[in-house]
A and B are shown apart, each in its own frame.
Chain A
Amino acid sequence: MITINKAVVTAAAPRQRTLPLQTLVDRDGATKSALVIILEEILAAGVQEIGVVIAPGDQAAYADAAGDYAGRLTFIEQAEPRGYGHALWQAREFVGTEPFLHLVSDHLYVSATEKGCARQLVETARETACAISAVQATRESQIGLYGTIGGRPVPGFTNRYDIECVQEKPTPTLAEQTLAVPGMRAGHYLCLFGMHVLTPLIMTLLEEEWAKTAAGQNLQLSPALSQLAAREQYLAVLMQGHRYNIGLKYGLFMAQWALALCGADRETILADLVELLATRPG
């Protein structure tokens, strides 16, 4: 059994840093920033200490967007944008020697069960006592947007996998050769959900990768995750829920629909949608 007390949210990427500051209506009908929805996902998983990796100068905006939760947050600056892995590595002092929950800031999650997605993941991690990433079955036409794992099912479980490798945004050509997972539908792969429980070894691996990274190049997370799979047990769990990438075209719009349709305003929204369809201009 492991204890997970800390979470790290990365929000420093140049083209994504404003995404969590956007406002949506959550399942409860309240208007919130995307950042707050993410923070509430983390808190619902029982994790209280949250570090947010941001670009220099963004702290005020993020504190403002966090509202009542601002006081709980530790802001960690990434001095220069050198990639996703580099951003996470900035939180090494914050996480210290403990396993931690990690979420990206450009994804929102809608669980298919009573439990939030982060909570499902954290509970599984406590049970398995190892690093574990949430994954979602994704059609091959979309895998170029996500990190994708290759692995094998864990005997006795229908939703857990032993990760063997992780590829960042692969083409289907590469995926068919190295990332096919037994039991998956043809043309479907297990893509990262943007939500992980990682052990402190990841920071060591990122440090090693960083040492090999040439000037001007970025440090990605996927190679370090692949290394992690080689060094210790690293599992994936198929989430009962969906992720919505608010950085994509219509991503925020789709996320809003998903939240609304599984929340308190479902009936109202459906009625409005029907009316819109019936009277749409053109």
Chain B
Amino acid sequence: MPLDLIQCITADEHDLRNQSIDALCQAATGAELLAETERLDQFWRRSDNLYARVRALFFLYAIHRFHLPHRPEQVAGRGRTPYVGYRHLLARRFEEAIDHFRHAARQDGLSDNLASALATAYHLLAFQTLANQVRRSVRSVAGNQWMFRVGHPSDHPLRLRPELRQTGPDQTYPLLHETTPVRMDLSHSAWSDIFFLGMDYPEGARVLNVSIDLGVRGRDQAPRPPVEAYLRVIDEPVLRLTSIDLGTTADVQHLHEVFDFARDYLGLLKAAVIAAGLVPPGLEGGEQPLRDVLEKLVGSGQGLELVSQVNDIPKGSRLAVSTNLLAALIAVAMRATGQTASLTGPLSESERRLVAARAILGEWLAGSGGGWQDSGGVWPGIKLIQGERAQPGDPEYGISRGCLLPRHTWLGHDAVSPAVRDRLQQSLVLVHGGMAQNVGPILEMVTEKYLLRTEPEWTGRQRAIDLLDTILTHLQQGDIRALGEATTANFYGPIQTIIPWAHTAYTESLIQAMQQAFHTDFWGFWMLGGMSGGGMGFMVDPARQTAAKDFLQQTMTRLKGELQHALPFAMDPVVYDFAINENGTHATLHSGRDALFPPAYYAMMVPRWLRMDPRTLTRTRRAELRYIGDISTRRTDFKGLVNQLFERMLPDRGAADDRQESLRELMHRVGFDPEQQEAIRRDLRSGLLGLAQNRLPATTVIEDVEPTDVIDCRQPAAAALAECGSQALRNGEVAVITLAAGTGSRWTQGAGVVKALHPFCSLQGRHCSFIETHLAKSRRQARAAGTAIPHIFTTSYLTHDPIAAHLARVENHGYDGPLYLSPGRSVGVRMIPMMRDLRFLWEETAHQQLDEQAEKMRASVQAALLNWAQESGEGRDYTDNTPLQCLHPVGHWYEPANLLRNGVLRALLQARPQCKWLLLHNIDTVGADLDPALLGQHITSGAALSFEVIARRIEDLGGGLARVNGRPRIVEGLALPREDIEFRLSFYNSMTTWIDLDQWLALFGLTRDQLDDEATVSAAIRQLGATIPSYITIKDVKKRWGHGHEDVFPVSQYEKLWSDMTALPEANCRFLVVPRPRGQQLKDQAQLDGWLRDGSAAWVEERCDFND
């Protein structure tokens, strides 16, 4: 039967519509696939149905990403992507990019590189189309539209309710107080609450959502609604925004500040101000003073104060704290402006729906995004939330199958009795495991897999839908044990089938510990949402709940201690106390002495007021201070306030001093060279070093290599080469060096974990770290050769101790061969970046433009960071973080060189004097192994260094193999004079290098015999190092604070790179083209899913021996 993917898209019949594209494509020939891409491309262009377009785009993506690259008869192994198309891609002009790429394919034939470019463009266009539709739907919700039409303060239609404008006899204004629970998803919806899914597959979008009060065990006396918002009138024409939890307040005086979300930590409050219509989105860009808006809204010379508090509930709880906070702020502001019928009490159903719609709008404005169930805390108790088919009259009708907003069905006490609710509360232990991870990539993966109907995931989704019914039945019957079994089945079944990355080694360890400790009293695990490791639930026999809480607290703390270098923990784990909230969001109005904010607000604000001239205090503030004085001795919640005030006004400097001391100790211990640091700083400040100075002279001639410059090793090699390599292996002439000094800035967005230890993937049914995977490959080759193979991991001050401790704990993962750690001997202190470098990075270099709102956010963040760099002092040492986050390794060029200095190579050669060949590779090049044929190739070529390269794809950025002034070498991306040059280069550097040990030593001017002479070795390294360029780079570093909060700062560091060895004229280098699965580096966790699906993971698995 001929391939007909369009039928899959347009068919109404369930069986046709829901066919797996992978299965269909695997059965097709390459020519059929190419022909189908033509038809699909024409189809999406002419289709006016949103989901038909989007599915066609996803099909095109999948064919180009996963299927055509495996059809070498249709796709050339080497090719180029037109730079102009890439520029369109960066500028989000995806359709033009596709046109350029297709034109190039018609002209030159489709290559692997072009296929990757087309896949990326189709993928991005599909998501842009979906996101645009959600935005249009949010704007078109009745009740939201007017806010986009208000273009001038004179048009502002809202007025504050009179009850809030009337002062009491004491001259204070009433205070409106909104309390809102958070929500937990009892079913884990298999992410079916993603807007895109709900709008295309409303029948499958269902969740069981419970509003809950929370308390942190051991800290809070009892659970209470964790989210609070306050609003009152003030006698100043400003918008005063205060986040108690973040300790931030600001008086907003200009319209543009309201729309500047990243200026401070008040972005969420600003989004609420806009989404609630206080400052309608239509006013963005207006030049009028905010005072004019406030005059219309409140009165002449008056303003508003909006305060938020989430009672220190940590970020990443998977309880949708931020969405419910947004909803609470919006609700309080809508009540205050008469947009709800009642000022106080609960909301009506239509009002709740509108608050939910406004919260979606607010999330879009602030550049964040959750699911449609996240504002569930606005509703009371337990409810079934389901997608709703679009009907005539709905704005979505004719565009998507489902509506933007779902339908909430409240499950009253007749459906779930009070006794059952009690049993649930007595059985369930809610925790925050301490991990906080970005779930954005997961949500994209879920959407993509749904739209492609990939077979296992689609089956998993159907199973998740069935499990929801099971969970609901057990809940209604009050069988909590069976409910626990169902949530566990959901976690190990559909959830991990759809997204394997939702599970972590940490979670698995916790579950196993619970099983061992509680046996049959452990009823089940329940993943709260997003991904595990943060908010999680454990169901136990109610009689054991207290014991389970104690056990989980201890176990999570212990496991965090063991895994904190391997996984990105943002905070210490906590156990919650919780209770079902039967009110939903609820407001009260307070006046006179009762119109007070929480004590933490005054602990933050009173010191500021006391520093002001008393004559400038407003009458309201004077009255408030009098009240605080009165009640601070009488109200229990205010009793600790006086102490807090003293602590705030006279802060203890101890912690900051300790940090400085600890950093100095660390620098001393790891061999920091202050003279080198000062020299770099001097050059950085004077402009001799910098991002722009990294580049080669503009007159440099850089061209793609000739076919004769590389040896193509992608096809099976001659038997003689393999035998040559095998012989060397059998003779014990080979060792492996894995570069493991880094923390993977991109891998965990600067979280500072040891990448080598990160359990990045499940291989052969186990969570495997990079280090374990590399050892498994060496083990396999060692067993094949019948000899032990030495494996060296180079480390740095950041990674040495954790790797050493880990290997000791796991007994080297049972690795038989000698295993060495090569500690780093070079370190630098990160520096506050130069503003010119930040501008160069953000303005001069190409970067992916984001969608409209996210781009605004990014611009705002960048402005704030420029300000930070200026205020902190450009070029100064970066010390305002944990000591380990302030230092940096100085580039992987030093890592092999350190082998000479730290005695590891000497020790290796003493034990293995026959060792002649080294395989050096990066920690994240998971496919690299001691392939005998490649080793044989290297040996027979006589090269000093054989660098492995792969055919470039569009995502391979950062330089590559080139002829520089006529000589083949690897050139780093940051050294290229122009960015378009990279797009002329066919091969990308994998960093994997075969080394002839003696020739390499000769480059230093050394022989084996001289390795004992420390002075000679040091001088040799210095001498060769002087010929290698130092690059300035900007890296992101996370600073953690508060309860799971993180800030990311760009910092300057300098480094020398291994690939610049190819530039040495005396180095005898070869370049081997290897298969992509071997040379692919895993730099970003978002790559993992594609890596798993395109067969690369299986390729690696085949080369591993885990000693099971």
With contact pairs A140-B157, A141-B156, A143-B157 given, residues A172 and B350 touching in the complex (Cβ less than 8 Å): no
Instruction: Tell me, yes or no, whether B520 is within 8 Å of chain A by CB.
Output: no
Q: What is the chain B residue whose CB lies nearest that of A171? A: B339
Q: A177 to B147: give the CA distance in the assembly, Å.
A: 13
Task: Determine whether the beta carbon of B158 is less than 8 Å from that of A144.
Answer: yes
Task: Determine whether the beta carbon of A171 is less than 8 Å from that of B158.
Answer: yes
Task: Determine whether the beta carbon of A176 is less than 8 Å from that of B145.
Answer: yes
Q: A171 to B336: give the CA distance in the assembly, Å.
A: 12
Q: Which of A171, A177, A180, A186 contacts B157 (CB 8 A)?
A: A171
Chain B contacts for A158, CB-based, 8 A: none
Chain B contacts for A186, CB-based, 8 A: 145, 149
Task: Determine whether the beta carbon of A177 is less than 8 Å from that of B158.
Answer: no
Instruction: Tell me, yes or no, whether B659 is within 8 Å of chain A by CB.
Output: no
Task: Determine whether the beta carbon of B157 is less than 8 Å from that of A144.
Answer: yes
- Min CB gap A69→B, angstroms: 37
Task: Determine whether the beta carbon of B142 is less than 8 Å from that of A176.
Answer: yes
Chain B contacts for A172, CB-based, 8 A: 146-147, 157-158
Q: A175 to B277: give the CA distance in the assembly, Å.
A: 14
Task: Determine whether the beta carbon of B157 is less than 8 Å from that of A176.
Answer: no
Q: A140 to B354: give the CA distance in the assembly, Å.
A: 18
Instruction: Tell me, yes or no, whether B143 is within 8 Å of chain A by CB.
Output: yes
Q: Which of A142, A144, A173 contacts B277 (CB 8 A)?
A: A173
Instruction: Tell me, yes or no, whether B154 is within 8 Å of chain A by CB.
Output: yes
Task: Determine whether the beta carbon of B150 is less than 8 Å from that of A141.
Answer: yes
For window 89-145 of chain A, which residues contact chain B by CB distance below 8 Å? Answer: 139-144
Q: Which of B149, B156, B334 contacts A173 (CB 8 A)?
A: B334
Chain A contacts for B142, CB-based, 8 A: 176-177, 180
Chain B contacts for A142, CB-based, 8 A: 157
With contact pairs A144-B158, A180-B142 given, residues A171 and B337 touching in the complex (Cβ less than 8 Å): yes
Instruction: Tell me, yes or no, whether B109 is within 8 Å of chain A by CB.
Output: no
Binary flags per residue of A142-185, CB closer than 8 Å to B gives 1, else 0: 11100000000000000000000000000111111100100000
Task: Determine whether the beta carbon of A173 is less than 8 Å from that of B154.
Answer: no
Binary flags per residue of B330-357, CB closer than 8 Å to A gives 1, else 0: 0000100111000000000010001000
Task: Determine whether the beta carbon of B143 is less than 8 Å from that of A173.
Answer: yes
Chain A contacts for B163, CB-based, 8 A: none
Chain B contacts for A173, CB-based, 8 A: 143, 146, 277, 334, 339, 354
Indicate the member of A141, A180, A186 with the most B CB atoms within 10 Å: A141
Indicate the member of A171, A173, A174, A180 with the most B CB atoms within 10 Å: A173
Q: A172 to B156: give the CA distance in the assembly, Å.
A: 10
Q: A171 to B158: give the CA distance in the assembly, Å.
A: 7
Chain A contacts for B146, CB-based, 8 A: 140, 172-173, 175-176, 187
Chain B contacts for A187, CB-based, 8 A: 145-146, 149
Q: What is the chain B residue whose CB lies nearest that of A180? A: B142
- Min CB gap B920→A, angstroms: 64
With contact pairs A141-B157, A143-B157, A171-B339 given, residues A177 and B149 touching in the complex (Cβ less than 8 Å): no
Task: Determine whether the beta carbon of A177 is less than 8 Å from that of B145.
Answer: no
Task: Determine whether the beta carbon of A177 is less than 8 Å from that of B143.
Answer: yes
Task: Determine whether the beta carbon of B143 is less than 8 Å from that of A174.
Answer: yes
Instruction: Tell me, yes or no, whether B155 is within 8 Å of chain A by CB.
Output: yes
Indicate the member of B142, B144, B354 with the most A CB atoms within 10 Å: B142
Binary flags per residue of A249-267, CB closer than 8 Å to B gives 1, else 0: 0000000000000000000
Chain A contacts for B154, CB-based, 8 A: 141
Q: A140 to B149: give the CA distance in the assembly, Å.
A: 9
- Min CB gap A180→B, angstroms: 7
Q: A175 to B145: give the CA distance in the assembly, Å.
A: 11
Q: Which of B149, B155, B338, B350 contacts A171 (CB 8 A)?
A: B338
- Min CB gap B296→A, angstroms: 9
Task: Determine whether the beta carbon of A174 is less than 8 Å from that of B339.
Answer: yes
Binary flags per residue of B571-603, CB closer than 8 Å to A gives 1, else 0: 000000000000000000000000000000000
Indicate the member of B144, B150, B155, B157 with the most A CB atoms within 10 Å: B157
- Min CB gap A127→B, angstroms: 32
Q: What is the chain B residue whose CB lies nearest that of A175? A: B146
For window 212-231 of chain A, which residues contact chain B by CB distance below 8 Å? Answer: none
The range of chain A's interface size is 10 to 19
Instruction: Tell me, yes or no, whether B159 is within 8 Å of chain A by CB.
Output: yes
Task: Determine whether the beta carbon of B350 is less than 8 Å from that of A177.
Answer: yes
Indicate the member of A139, A172, A174 with the most B CB atoms within 10 Å: A172
Q: A49 to B124: give the CA distance in the assembly, Å.
A: 73
Q: A109 to B339: give the CA distance in the assembly, Å.
A: 31
Q: A139 to B350: give the CA distance in the assembly, Å.
A: 24
Chain A contacts for B334, CB-based, 8 A: 173
- Min CB gap A134→B, angstroms: 22
Chain B contacts for A180, CB-based, 8 A: 142
For window 142-178 of chain B, which residues contact chain A by CB distance below 8 Å? Answer: 142-147, 149-150, 154-159
Q: Which of A139, A141, A144, A177 contacts B354 (CB 8 A)?
A: A177
Q: A173 to B330: give the CA distance in the assembly, Å.
A: 13
Q: What is the chain B residue whose CB lies nearest that of A139? A: B155
Q: A186 to B148: give the CA distance in the assembly, Å.
A: 11
Chain B contacts for A144, CB-based, 8 A: 157-159, 338
Q: A143 to B338: give the CA distance in the assembly, Å.
A: 13
Binary flags per residue of B262-281, CB closer than 8 Å to A gives 1, else 0: 00000000000000010000
Chain B contacts for A143, CB-based, 8 A: 157
Q: A176 to B357: give the CA distance in the assembly, Å.
A: 14
Q: A202 to B354: give the CA distance in the assembly, Å.
A: 33
For window 790-804 of chain B, which residues contact chain A by CB distance below 8 Å? Answer: none
With contact pairs A140-B149, A171-B339 given, residues A176 and B143 touching in the complex (Cβ less than 8 Å): yes
- Min CB gap B139→A, angstroms: 12
- Min CB gap A60→B, angstroms: 32
- Min CB gap A3→B, angstroms: 40
- Min CB gap B696→A, angstroms: 57
Chain A contacts for B145, CB-based, 8 A: 176, 186-187
Chain A contacts for B149, CB-based, 8 A: 140, 186-187
Chain B contacts for A176, CB-based, 8 A: 142-146
Q: A33 to B484: give the CA distance in the assembly, Å.
A: 79
Indicate the member of B143, B147, B350, B354 with the most A CB atoms within 10 Å: B143
Binary flags per residue of B992-1009, CB closer than 8 Å to A gives 1, else 0: 000000000000000000
- Min CB gap B160→A, angstroms: 11
Chain A contacts for B156, CB-based, 8 A: 141
Q: A144 to B156: give the CA distance in the assembly, Å.
A: 10
Q: A141 to B152: give the CA distance in the assembly, Å.
A: 10
Chain A contacts for B338, CB-based, 8 A: 144, 171
Chain A contacts for B339, CB-based, 8 A: 171, 173-174
Q: A187 to B157: give the CA distance in the assembly, Å.
A: 11
Q: A101 to B41: give the CA distance in the assembly, Å.
A: 66
- Min CB gap B274→A, angstroms: 14
Q: What is the chain A residue whose CB lies nearest that of B141? A: A176
Q: A180 to B142: give the CA distance in the assembly, Å.
A: 9
Q: What is the chain A residue whose CB lies nearest that of B154? A: A141
Q: A177 to B348: give the CA distance in the assembly, Å.
A: 14
- Min CB gap A181→B, angstroms: 13
Q: A214 to B146: give the CA distance in the assembly, Å.
A: 34
With contact pairs A171-B338, A171-B339, A173-B354 given, residues A141 and B143 touching in the complex (Cβ less than 8 Å): no
- Min CB gap A102→B, angstroms: 26
Chain A contacts for B144, CB-based, 8 A: 176
Q: A6 to B933: give the CA distance in the assembly, Å.
A: 108
- Min CB gap B260→A, angstroms: 25
- Min CB gap A186→B, angstroms: 7
A-B contact pairs, 16 of them (CB 8 A): A141-B154, A141-B155, A141-B156, A142-B157, A144-B159, A171-B157, A171-B337, A171-B338, A171-B339, A172-B147, A172-B157, A172-B158, A173-B334, A176-B144, A177-B354, A186-B149
Which 3 pairs from chain A and chain B are nearest by CB? A172-B146, A141-B155, A173-B339
Which residues on A are within 8 Å of B, measured CB to CB?
139-144, 171-177, 180, 186-187
8 more contacts with CB within 8 A, not counting A140-B149, A177-B143, are: A141-B155, A144-B338, A171-B157, A171-B158, A172-B157, A173-B354, A176-B142, A177-B350
Which residues on B are within 8 Å of A, measured CB to CB?
142-147, 149-150, 154-159, 277, 334, 337-339, 350, 354
